[in-house]
Structure 1
């Protein structure tokens, strides 16, 4: 794999009916064993009628909305054995087995850094898109991004490609952000069967991340327009 590609974040997104965000507070998560007792919150939880957001110091976050439960983790620099989000997601499904789950998404993000904004812009508008007069209007260049969808044997791999700036400490680096979504509707005729299917998909998260990386390396990063930097950071559009 290209040394310029850096995974920054993975999220597991559970789509469910009639999910009550208020149920998932820090005390409940620790009391039920979903979150280890020694985990500390990085900041104050966010609570309102339609959203609960909890972020822990180790980079794991839980975001709950009425129809969606997201477990995410900032993974830059972490070895696979230290990545916790799948364990948390499986515990949530086990403890909230009465919820009517409908689908699950495995959502990795990766970045490639460039030496200048012009090089990052050229990657999208010169390498991925065909040059033409459409790229300028009113004296300004177009801001371009791509959204692609790849049907798989099961599910769909959706890919968004955008130019961003990545901040690491005080340094801001131009980059291309690849946002993946491997989306799987759940199968099964009973609640138990659907939960078993859901748990199996979550358990296979590393395989999905490998598919995402394979797509990027083979189809998008085989020849970069300029040497890219390897970066380990958070992403801001």
Structure 2
């Protein structure tokens, strides 16, 4: 029997033109109050003209490239409180002159299965019809599926893959189904930097709705757990 859906990663990707990665460093982030003063670095930072990155002990990773900003947060105990979304909003407010024109919310979650046979049944009986594809020369294929839901003002992409994850308490590996999601919005047609930035900030403030839609899509449609 499958366990509950567990969110493990929440990432925000903001697409931009003419970004300047070289300004990213811990002092810049603290001086401009993008991150709290007491945050500690967890690994060596690097700053270049093409890509820069700062990683903190609370599992927040900030990366700036010439064409995008990435705010990534590893999630513990399925508990996301919008920390990376708040940091992204502050970053946009500090650098309002950059042409930010698209927003992606990337989410990774999984469900734990009792065994690999349960996962085989999910892919082979629920997602796909029965057929000869299931075995070729006594080999069962490694399935991978992608779904695209094109709404009027955004697109939801979901990919599903079987995987193994290591237990946090033992050396045991558990069989899981991995759900990788992307919610994409493009604001380039607005043609105004301030409007584009305002729209991006607005949707970042409503991250809870995107997370809810992602979880409902998986639970109610892809896992058929709807009431």
TM-score, with structure 2 as normaliser? 0.88
- Distance 1:63-1:124 versus aligned 2 partners, 3 A rule: farther
Is the contact made by 1:167 and 1:173 (CA closer than 8 Å) also made in structure 2? yes
1:42 & 1:120 partners in 2: Cα distance? 36
Distance 1:137 1:48, change over 3 A: farther
User: Partners in 1 of 2:49 and 2:135 — Cα distance?
Assistant: 43
Higher mean displacement: 115-124 or 149-158 = 115-124
Once the two structures are overlaid, the 10-residue window that deviates more, 5-14 or 161-170, is 161-170
**CA shift in 2, pair 1:211/1:132, >3 Å:** same
For 1:215 and 1:20, the matched residues in 2 are separated by 36
Residues 109 and 178 of structure 1 are in contact (CA less than 8 Å); yes or no, is this contact kept in structure 2? yes
Instruction: Please name the residue that 1:84 is paired with.
Output: 83
CA RMSD of aligned residues (A): 2.0
Higher-RCO chain (CA-CA 8 Å, sequence separation at least 6): 1
Measure, in 1, the Cα distance between the counterparts of 2:209 and 2:78: 17
Give the 3-state SS of the residue equivalent to 2:204 in structure 1. helix
SS at match of 1:141: coil
Structure 1 gap ranges (5+) = 224-237
* Unaligned runs of at least 5 residues, structure 2: none
* Per-residue Cα deviation, 1:140-165 (whole angstroms, up to 9, x for no partner): 22111111100123111111111111
Q: How much has 1:48 moved relative to structure 2? A: 5.3
Q: 1:47, CA displacement in angstroms?
A: 4.6
Tell me, yes or no, if the aligned pair for 2:4 and 2:112 is still in contact at 8 Å: yes
Match of 2:155 in 1: 156
Q: CA deviation at 1:46?
A: 4.3
Q: What SS does the corresponding residue of 1:194 show, helix, strand or coil?
A: helix
Q: How does 1:124-135 map to 2 (within 5 A)?
A: 124-135=123-134
C-alpha distance in 1, partners of 2:130/2:144? 14
What's the offset of the Cα at 1:69? 1.1
Q: TM-score, normalised by structure 1?
A: 0.85
**Separation in 2 of the partners of 1:7 and 1:78?**
5
Residue of structure 2 in register with 1:197 after alignment: 199
Q: For 2:36 and 2:78, how far apart are their aligned partners in 1?
A: 19
Q: 1:129 to 1:58 in 2, by over 3 A?
A: same
Q: Deviations over 1:45-70 (max 9, x none)?
A: 24555332322111211122221211
C-alpha separation between the residues in 1 aligned to 2:56 and 2:134?
42
1:21 aligns with 2:21: yes
Number of positions where the alignment pairs a residue of Structure 1 with one of Structure 2:
221
CA distance in 1, matches of 2:159, 2:101: 23
Superposed displacement of residue 194, structure 1: 1.0
